[in-house]
Each structure stands twice: as C-alpha cells, then as structure tokens.
Structure 1
Amino acid sequence: MKIIVVGAGVIGVTSAWYLAKAGHDVVVMDRQPAPGRETSYANAGEVSPGYSAPWAAPGIPLKALKWMFQRHAPLVVQPKPDLAKLSWLAKMLANCTPDAYAVNKARMVRLAEYSRDSLAALREETGMAYDERTQGTLQLFRTQAQVEAAEKDIAVLRDGGVPFEVLDEEGCLRAEPGLAGAQAPIAGGLRLPGDETGDCFKFTTALAHLAAATGVEFRYGVTVDRLLLEDGRVRGVVTADGQHRADAVVVALGSYSPALVRPLGIALPVYPVKGYSLTLPIINENRAPVSTVMDETYKVAITRLGERIRVGGLAEIAGFDLSLPPSRRATLLHSVQGLFDGAGDVQQAAFWCGLRPMTPDGTPVIGRTPVPGLLLNTGHGTLGWTMAAGSGRVLADIVSGRRTDIETTDLGIARYARGSSSPTGALRPART
C-alpha cells in the first residue's frame, strides 16, 4: 500500500519506519524544514513507562484550585474563552474518578511498557545513539503526603507487574548522589528501574535518516491543507501544489490533528497542553543527575542527556500560544536549583516550549477511524517520546492487518463514541 503520514515528529517518524518495515510505500509530509522541529524538539527526555499516568486523576480538580494561588504552579489554565478548551476540560473532569483513573493508567502503562521494549529492540537493530541511558526514573516526594498518595500508583504498578522500589531519603541519595546537596526537603521516592532517558530530537532525526535510506520519502516544507475524500474514503491529501494520492493516510500531527480531520465529521478530543523546558550544559558532574528525577511537587522532570541537563514539565492550557513567559522559566529554575543547584550553567540555559497533544483520558488515539482510509496516531500528551516506538509499531500492524502484540481495541477513537462504556466522554460520529 502507498501510505501518506502527515507529521514528522517522533510519532510520525516512528510510524513511517514501522510501516516501511512492513513493506509499505511511505511518504511523510511536514511543514517544517526537517524532522522533530516542534513538540519533539526539546521535551523532558523521559522514556518512562512506569510513570505513565493520566493528568485526569482523583483530587486534581481540588489541586488545580489550589494551584491557582501558587507562585510556581505545575498547572495553569488561562482564562481566555475557548469552546474547545471548555469541552476538553469537561471531558477531562469526567475522568477524574478512581475507576476511570485505574482504567486509563493501566492501558497507558500497557502501551508504554510495550513501547519501551520496542525502542530497545529498535536501538539494537539500528545501533543508533541519542544520549540514551537505562538507569531508571526517580519520582521524588518533598512531603509525606506525597509519599502516601503514591500508594494508588504503586497498586497499579504492582498489578501490572512493573518493577519499582519505594525509597526513603537515604535510598534517594544512593540512586541520585547529586541530591546530596539539595536545598529542598526529601521525604522519599518511588524509583522505576525499567525506565530510560534519551534525546527525543536526536532519536527522531536519526530514525528519519535511517527511514529515508530504506526508501521512505520525506517532503519537508509542505503544509497539508485538507484530506482528499472521494466516495466516502480518504484517497490522499491536498497541498498547495495539488493532490497527492495514497491508499491510506495516517494523521500524526499532534495538537493540529483535530483541525485536519474535523471536516470529515470526526471530533477528535485532542487539545494542546503547553509544556516548557530548559536545557543547561553541565558544569559540575558531581551535582548533576544520573538519570531522571521527577519533582512531584512541581511536575518537573530533571533529566541527564549526555553533557546537558534537560528540565522539562509544567502544563499550561492556553490554546496554541507559543510565548515564553519568564514566570514559567522561573518555575523550572526553582525546581532544578532546589534539587541540583550548581550542576548546570543557568546563564547558558536554552528556554523552549511545545504543545503536547492531550486527550481527556491521557491515552493516545491510535488506529482506524470511521472514515475508510484514514488512521490516527496522535494524542500522546506528555508521553509521546515514551510511547512513540510502540505506537508506531502498533499502527503498522493495524494497517497491515496483522495481529498486534498488545490489546489495542481500547486505544482507538471508538472509545469516545456515544454509547461507549468508556468513561472518556462523547464523540460525535463521523459522517461519510
């Protein structure tokens, strides 16, 4: 089959790679001049299956109200009116129940674990390097209340067979010696030894080059204006230079996916949740993190990427705004300086933001749609890097009509259909 993949971020590139490996003729289109230039460019660097959890969780509504009055708030909701935002928030709030959280987290961990294993196999197959490390993630708790609240996540990890270690302060220092000089309190931690780290941009660029060498065609600087629909089936895409026909189209446009599929009657519940990062060159090896430390208080990940420290996180619901407010930079600095002060050169820090494509339930939307010839691989939120390899592999299996290695029926857009037993909310059926 000839397949057009729209989007050359980490999700689009991994999709293209696995589709090509399955024997398909693949063309990737992206408006940027090269792969991985938007949300995949400077994310937190985590490949963290064990930390895969939806933002929609019990207690989040109350926490969000408290964060409104907090200087270094991990979540900010801009008050600007936006019907799409209000609809998405309503669906997200509907998922903030214990039952919904357990269902959503379990399937996210399932996909993320599979993706981590797929990434390891891909790394072994290709020999690519992207500042990867396989030394786990430490979720750091500054308060005893956070330690106690982690019991819910631990139960899901235990049920899913995910390895974990519950650490006291001394155990946290053994895992991350650079924390010895932390100014912030350390009440304990949850270490996930199976997690990895790596530079998503380096990975995406390297895999795109490998995919091109195997025959995948990449067309950069191309904006897809609309999907080509004929007789109720997607037959390709339309760009400024005309029609480009294919047997199927995979939409992997992240936060921009809903706008492309909306004219076909598909109300894809993906909304941009803005995240920020700082990248600092290491100036004190002894103070630097070994792998990833997730600062639970501020929802900030501090990750070692080669000779750099990536400080990434926060969530801002502000539509497609790409501004860089100094207050968000201050929050990232507050987190890293409280835990690893002096490890990186703050004066040389590069400040960045990206739009994470988030679903109300936290799980991405992968697979076929009600419109023949149209498939989705989008909505990965903060976990695009974590879930990329597995998502691409699953997508390729679905396209090829092969049995997938993991359960995928609950990853598709059908879970949002009216009448679905899923707690994720309603989706208007597609018109064909």
Structure 2
Amino acid sequence: MHVLVLGAGVIGTSAAWYLQKAGHQVTVLERQGGAGRETSFANGGQISVSHAEPWANPSAPLKLMKWLGREDAPLLFRLRADWRQWRWGLSFLRECTAARTSRNIAQIVNLGLYSRQSLQELRAETGIQYDHLERGILHFYTSQSEWDAAQEPAEVMRRHGADLDMLTPDQVVAIEPALAGARDKIVGGSMTVADESGDAGMFTRELAKLCEAAGVSFLYNTTVFGMNEEGGEITGVRVRSEDGSYATLQADAYVVCLGSYSPMMVRPHGIDLNIYPAKGYSVSMPVADPDKAYHVSLTDDEYKLVFSRLGNRLRIAGTAELNGYNLDLNPVRCEAIVRRVEELFPGAGDTSQASFWTGLRPLTPSNVPYIGRTRVRNLYLDTGHGTLGWTHACGSGRAIADIISGNNPPVDFAFTQA
C-alpha cells in the first residue's frame, strides 16, 4: 500500500526505512529543507537502553521543589496560562509512584532492547556511518542520595534484560580515565557495555539517502496543516509547498511522526495525545586536547547531562525546560552546561568554538511513546518519544511497519490504541 509518513526526523525516517522494507510505497512529508533538521539535529547522541528510568519517578516531586526558581535547574517548569501544561504536569506527578515507575521502566527497556538490536542489524546490512561508538555508556553519580536512590531502578532494569553493572568510584575512573580529576566528587556509577553512541542527525540524513535509493520519496519544504477525514478514515492531508501552492495528498495509510506537534495534528480527529514539548539543550565543541577528552559516552546524573564523543567533536546535552513551543536559547542554561564540562574535563574541549542548539523533545508524562493504531482506521502514531527518540527510533519504525502490514511486532510493548 501507499503510506504517507508525516515528519522526517529520526523517528519518521526510520519508519520510512522499515515500511519500504516491508514492501510499501512510501512518501515522507517534511516542512524543513532536509531530514533531521529539528529535534534530531544535535541531540545527546546516546543509544541508552539501560538508563531507562523516566523523569517521572518517586524522587522527582522533591527534586522539582528543590529546583524551583533555579534558572539552570535540570528540569525547569516555566508555569504558563496553558491548560495543556498543567494537565501534563498533573499526569507527570501521577506517574511518580513506585509501581508506575516500575511499569514504565519495563516498557522503555523492552522497546530499547528491540530498537538497539534493530539498529545493529540495519548497520550491518547497510554499512551506514554516523560517528558511532560501541564502547558502552558510563553513568556516574556525584550525589550520595542519588546513588542510593539508583539501586532499586537498576534492579528493575536488570530484571527486564538490561546489562547494568554497578561500580565503585575507582572502577568508574578505570573505565574513563578522563574523570580522574573528578574522582573525589564521584560516589559510584553504573556501566552498560552493550549501549552505544552516535550522531542522530547524521544517522537521519544518511538513512534518508538510503531510503531514497530504495525508492522512498521525500517531499521537503512541504508543510502539513491538516488532514481530511471521511467515514472513519483519513482521505488526504492538506499541504503547502515551498512555492506557496496548496494541495491534498492521498495515500492508503498515514503515520504521524511530528514530535511535539503531533497533538495538534490529530486532535481534530478525536485523538488526545498527552505530549508536551520539553526544550533540551546541547553544546558541541571540537576536541582541544585528546588526552583530556572522554572516550566513553557518559551520563552525569546530578546535572542530567549526557556526554558523547562524535569523531573529533564533543557533544554535551541535557536538561529539560517546559516552556511551551519557545525555541529561544537561554544563555544561562547554555553557560551552565559549558561550566560543568570545564569542571569535569578542564581543557578537553575548545569552548571558544562551542556551538549551542535547542530542540523540543515530545515528552509524555511517563516517557513511554505512542506507537500504534488510532480510532481512525488508516491513521497510525509513532511519536512522543521524549528523551529517547534516538534510542527507540529503529524499534519504533520496525514495529509500526509490522502493525501497518498486519503483523504483530516481536517485542513486549503495550502498543497504542488511541
């Protein structure tokens, strides 16, 4: 059948790849001039299957109280006269119970394991290059209370197949010697040797080329501003092209991969997605001194930052700011990231050439995405991946291709029936 995929970020492009592999004719619609130019452009770079504890967990409410009023807080709520933000916030608090956190971790780990396997198979099949490293992810803690609180979620993740090993501070530094200068701050860590890192933006661009070579059509500079519905199914999407002309494009099935903008697209069709944009920041800089730079992908628990080595570049990303669809770069938050890099790895990166970026992560209260069918017969969802879009992209795309093809995906995940 002919499938229209709405959005050419890492999620939509991955879905297009697996849909064409399943034998479908695929067209991808993207408002930017190329693939991977929004939230996928400069994210943290981690395929972090085994660091799956969601933002909503039993310790989150107390942390939020502690972070109130801090402009550089890892999770910053800018309260607005926006009922969707308030509804999302209340739902987030409901997800903070131990039982819900455990359930959400199981969902996130199951999808992540499947997705990492799918990415590895895709890489072996195509030889795609995206500055990837297979050196695992090292999670380090500089707060004793955070380290203590990490033990139970780690056990939950291990029960669901995550290869998570808890480490002493000396073991942390042995794995990543660049942390030796911060040894007195580290109270513990965890290592997942099977996890990976790589440039999600580069991956998306390269995969789009592979898709095109396989027959997928990408219509760039094409904005989708609505869908037509008749008789319980979508009959076309209304688009505006770069030259200002309007058209209605038709297909047999439609997949919404519009990230934070997905709720507005499907709401007129009776589908209510509890997704809110969480603005994340990243800093990229050239390596200044290879002897001082890290080589293993890292997660800094206290500051909620991830560090990835992308060739001769350092990528540091994290924090979340709930401030509607605002994309302004906040210099305080940018400077806080650079300050932490210099504190942990002084002289490793050329901060004079640092470039800053921000993108809107499509965050559900549970951090579990919407993947699957909707009440509209030929309308499907692949959205709401929050902080784990790069981690879950290939598994989500493979699963939605199975669902559209009438097959059951081979992963234990509660697929959406919206």
TM-score normalised by the chain length of structure 1: 0.94
Q: Could you give the per-residue CA deviations for residues 219-255 of structure 1, whole angstroms, max 9, x where no partner exists?
A: 0000011112122211221113211110010000000
Asked if residue 336 in structure 1 is aligned to residue 370 in structure 2, the reply is no
1:184 deviates by: 6.7
What amino acid does structure 2 have at the position aligned with 1:257? S
Match of 1:374 in 2: 379
CA contact (8 A) 2:361 2:385 kept: yes
Q: How does 1:261-276 map to 2 (within 5 A)?
A: 261-276=266-281
Match of 2:45 in 1: 45
CA contact (8 A) 2:16 2:28 kept: yes
Asked if residue 207 in structure 1 is aligned to residue 207 in structure 2, the reply is yes
CA contact (8 A) 2:28 2:217 kept: yes
What amino acid does structure 1 have at the position aligned with 2:114? Y
CA contact (8 A) 1:235 1:248 kept: no
Q: How does 1:250-261 map to 2 (within 5 A)?
A: 250-261=255-266
What amino acid does structure 2 have at the position aligned with 1:134? E
CA contact (8 A) 1:183 1:338 kept: no
Asked if residue 359 in structure 1 is aligned to residue 359 in structure 2, the reply is no
Question: Counterparts of 1:230 and 1:24 in 2: how far apart (Å)?
Answer: 23
Match of 1:390 in 2: 395
SS at match of 2:185: coil
Note the aligned Cα RMSD (angstroms).
1.2
**Structure 1 residues 282 and 184, CA, compared in 2 at 3 Å: closer, same or farther?**
farther
SS at match of 1:351: strand
Question: Counterparts of 2:184 and 2:232 in 1: how far apart (Å)?
Answer: 58
**Structure 1 residues 363 and 344, CA, compared in 2 at 3 Å: closer, same or farther?**
same
CA contact (8 A) 2:71 2:333 kept: no
Question: Counterparts of 1:93 and 1:184 in 2: how far apart (Å)?
Answer: 34
TM-score normalised by the chain length of structure 2: 0.97
What amino acid does structure 2 have at the position aligned with 1:133? L
Q: Which moved more, 1:63-72 or 1:50-59?
A: 63-72
Asked if residue 349 in structure 1 is aligned to residue 367 in structure 2, the reply is no
SS at match of 1:147: helix
What amino acid does structure 2 have at the position aligned with 1:288? A
Asked if residue 411 in structure 1 is aligned to residue 415 in structure 2, the reply is yes
1:331 deviates by: 1.6
Asked if residue 248 in structure 1 is aligned to residue 253 in structure 2, the reply is yes
Question: Counterparts of 2:72 and 2:275 in 1: how far apart (Å)?
Answer: 26
SS at match of 1:41: coil
Question: Counterparts of 1:236 and 1:306 in 2: how far apart (Å)?
Answer: 43
Match of 2:286 in 1: 281
What amino acid does structure 2 have at the position aligned with 1:14? S
Asked if residue 315 in structure 1 is aligned to residue 340 in structure 2, the reply is no
Q: Could you give the per-residue CA deviations for residues 281-300 of structure 1, whole angstroms, max 9, x where no partner exists?
A: 00111111112111101100
SS at match of 1:322: coil
Match of 1:25 in 2: 25
Question: Counterparts of 2:330 and 2:225 in 1: how far apart (Å)?
Answer: 31
Question: Counterparts of 1:195 and 1:8 in 2: how far apart (Å)?
Answer: 25
Unpaired runs of at least 5, structure 1: 415-432
1:62 deviates by: 1.1
Q: Could you give the per-residue CA deviations for residues 143-198 of structure 1, whole angstroms, max 9, x where no partner exists?
A: 22222111112111221122122111111111111111238711111111111000
CA contact (8 A) 2:169 2:186 kept: yes
SS at match of 1:304: strand
CA contact (8 A) 1:183 1:339 kept: no
Match of 1:427 in 2: none
CA contact (8 A) 1:251 1:376 kept: yes
Question: Counterparts of 1:79 and 1:156 in 2: how far apart (Å)?
Answer: 33
Question: Counterparts of 1:36 and 1:122 in 2: how far apart (Å)?
Answer: 18
Match of 2:243 in 1: none
SS at match of 1:51: coil
SS at match of 1:287: coil
1:305 deviates by: 0.8
- Structure 1's consecutive aligned runs of 4 or more residues displaced over 3 angstroms after TM superposition are 69-72
Unpaired runs of at least 5, structure 2: 241-245
What amino acid does structure 1 have at the position aligned with 2:346? D
Question: Counterparts of 1:182 and 1:53 in 2: how far apart (Å)?
Answer: 24
CA contact (8 A) 1:44 1:312 kept: yes
SS at match of 1:182: helix
What amino acid does structure 2 have at the position aligned with 1:411? F
Q: What is the aligned length?
A: 413
